Chain A
Amino acid sequence: MRFTRSLKAGAGVAVLALALAACGGGGGSTGASETGNQSLADKAKSTQKVVVGIKFDQPGLGLKQPDGTYAGFDVDVAKYVAKELGVPESGITFKEAQSAERENLIQKGEVDFIVATYSITDARKQKVNFGGPYFVAHQDLLVRSDNTDITGPDSLNGNKKLCSVKGSTPAQKVKDTYAKDVQLQEYGKYSDCVTALLNGSVDAVTTDDVILAGYAAAQAPGKLKVVGKGFTDENYGIGLKKDDTAGTSAVNAAINKMIADGSWATSLQNNVGPSGYKIPSPPTVPSS
């Protein structure tokens, strides 16, 4: 009899878990409909809806805010492209695109396109199409504003402390190419690196300049600065389904228009400008 009561309790827990799983699963519908190989351009026009992959935790680029809205340069680009494709802002669903997931999300059709500091590389081109580049970033260093002795990657020699995220190539590149005796601190997120930088336990944080500028802009003005000696080129592209040529040219046209009408520069100025980061000239985007 005791046994049956225990069983009942167990069954209750099971039902609860199933209910939880059900509402978890229900809330997380993937959104991308079964349009198969239809081009992004046609699909957007006919459904008035797109699912866009962005970063959720990158200030200045793609950041989810407490009020549930999204802000940043990547977000602005995504909205502009969506508008040009004929999708109103209310028709955009933003979805988190973790770095390792990006190709996968596109290939499985879980997102229609991705704007998430997504560098165009040959390896990735095998799996997805790229629109753009809509921005050319350079790997750079973020330091405290009162720091004068770090002027570029070479000046990290002499036992400086450099922070980056786990498993990221930027930090290793600095160590291999520029400064042999730099020390690396690795954390899971760049915001932890920024905390360490503000506290003085590391001397510099490294990744793409525009990402660093986003963090600097999110701080009180004058606390952090981007060194501004970029030492690589990262072409940020908009990822979409492999072989969707019509979609790619529509995206390219949208980026070109965004650059031409000045919204491109305005968005950058608003999002990362406050860091003192000099807005570069826009990249050349293939016109068709």
Chain B
Amino acid sequence: MSAGSVLFDAPGPRARLRAHLYTALFTLVLLAVAWFVFRGFADKNQWNGALWKPFIEGATWSEFLLPGLLNTIEAALLSVVIAIPIGVLLGIGRMSVHRWVSAPCGVIVEFFRAIPVLLLMVFAAELYFTYTDVDSETRPLLAVVTGLVLYNGSVLAEIVRSGIKSLPRGQAEAAAALGMRSGQIMRSVQLPQAVSLMLPAIVSQLVVILKDTALGGQLTVGYTELVRSAGPITANFNNSIPTLIVLAAIFIVLNYLLTLAAALLQRRLSRSRRTPPGAKVVVNPGATAGTGAGVAL
């Protein structure tokens, strides 16, 4: 059911009046809240031009924000690239007919899905610090990527699994009737169909990963991603609040672009390809448990 006009009748004169009333009231409330925030910030001098000026100067961006952004993107891309093959292997492994393959894969997936990414990163950082010789330039990056890969590999495994499960049973049965073995069915029949179905869910997982890189600058992880790279900005200009607002804006724009890309991809895939019946649950993010988990963090 497409939400919207189905849920209510075309407004008559009274309904329209009521809608206008609600519109006016709600707008008033919004304006009041906005005014309160604006005044509150003004009282504490947060709109002071000197606090915001650094963000229209090129040097602030080239010295601090852009390198931080690059680090954020680097960590996110590395994590995705490593997590996808791991996720595919774990996902397929979990569906294996051999118990000695499926059981450990299931345990790994459930275990790492249950643990907060922040804890994984803190632990990985300390582990590399204590037991390896990795230099201080790369260690935080490794810790961040390790945390993100372990968690997102497990989430992607579930996306893969639900993608393959949503294919019509007939596909596998027909392949089996042709005499294919189970590994062959997975490789040449099920996985190719599932991959393009899962692509949008995978792209939206990228949004999750991108946001989670912001954890890498916290506690003892110490990766100079976007949020942490802004530390010297606040130290230079005493502008904690404006900096937070600018950081949030950068992430919002970045993630919004990614979401748009995901939606575009989804539309293109569903237009150019006849989706097998019943497979559309996966394409609609949030509709199944597997993809729901992906969107939810």
Contact = CB atoms under 8 A, between A and B. Distances in A.
Do the two chains bind? yes
Contact of A195 (B129, B224, B241, B273): B241
Contacts of A64: 63-64, 232
A63 interface: yes
8 contacts: A3-B191, A6-B196, A13-B77, A56-B232, A63-B235, A64-B64, A68-B59, A195-B240
B81 A65 contact: no
Nearest to A2: B196
A272 to B, nearest CB: 14
B216 interface: no
A199 interface: yes
Given A108-B135, A191-B231, A66 B74 contact: no
Interface string B120-163: 00000000010001011110010000000000000000000000
A257 to B, nearest CB: 30
A63 B236 CA distance: 7
A188 B218 contact: yes
A191 B192 CA distance: 52
A166 B219 contact: yes
A3 B188 CA distance: 10
A100 interface: yes
A16 interface: yes
Contacts of B136: 101, 104-105, 108, 110
Interface residues of B, number: 43
Nearest to B61: A66
Interface string B257-297: 00000000000000001000000000000000000000000
Given A98-B222, A101-B136, A194 B192 contact: no
Interface residues of A, number: 44
Contact of A2 (B138, B219, B222, B273): B273
B185 interface: no
A108 to B, nearest CB: 6
Interface in A51-67: 56-59, 63-67
Of B73, B235, B236, B238, chain A has the most CB atoms within 10 Å of the CB of: B235
A191 B240 contact: yes
Contacts of A199: 44
B247 interface: no
B74 A17 contact: yes
A101 B78 contact: no
Interface in B39-86: 44, 54, 57, 59-60, 63-64, 70-71, 73-74, 77-78, 80-81, 84
A20 interface: yes
Interface string A53-97: 000111100011111100000000000000000000000000010
